[in-house]
Amino acid sequence: MFTDGACLGNPGPGGWGALLRRGSHERELSGGEAHTTNNRMELLAVISGLEALRKPCSIALTTDSQYVMRGVTEWMPRWIAKGWRTAGGDPVKNRDLWERLALALGPHAVEWHWVRGHDGHPENERADVLARRAAEAMRDSQEAAT
């Protein structure tokens, strides 16, 4: 699984993209929100990819989001133990999506991989195209409505 999020302004119209691959089969997913942040789109890319799986899987998940990867692998266990509070005692931002991600991860064995964004990784670039197109569609629909 390869995921990315995009936002035209932060906050602003945003999109997410996920590329799922098993053998020679691929599936592309994307979506967006009219007013959001890049971090929320990065989270939704992973969540949507995981929620699209029909049965428990072993997944190699590649993201260019340190926020998502470190959030899952380092921060989330502490947040949960502290009642969704940060080390400083503040409420965790995007808690709704972190809780949804925790549920989506449940049945799967995920191996996390980080890549530098916009550095030529073909699948990450494809996920970025999906996310940017979704963000642009959100922007265009907002402009058409005004």
Separation CA 80–CA 93 (nearest Å): 13
Q: Is there a catalytic annotation at residue 119?
A: no
100: part of which helix (H) or strand (E)? helix 95-105
- Please indicate whether residue 64 is annotated as part of the active site: yes
> What is the C-alpha separation between 12 and 90, in angstroms, rounded?
24
In the residue annotation, 42 being an active-site residue is answered as yes
Catalytic residue, chosen from 5, 17, 31, 32, is: 5
Marked catalytic residue, from 17, 33, 42, 71: 42
Is 140 labeled as catalytic in the residue annotation? no
4 a catalytic residue: yes
Reduced to 3 states (helix: H, G, I; strand: E, B; else coil), residue 129 is helix
The question of whether 5 is a catalytic residue gets the answer: yes
| Annotated catalytic residue, options 12, 32, 33, 64 | 64
- Is the distance from CB of 38 to CB of 51 less than 8 angstroms? no
Please give the annotated binding residues, written as ranges.
Answer: 4, 42, 64, 128
Please give the annotated binding residues for Mg(2+), written as ranges.
Answer: 4, 42, 64, 128
Which residues are known to be catalytic? 4-5, 42, 64, 118, 128
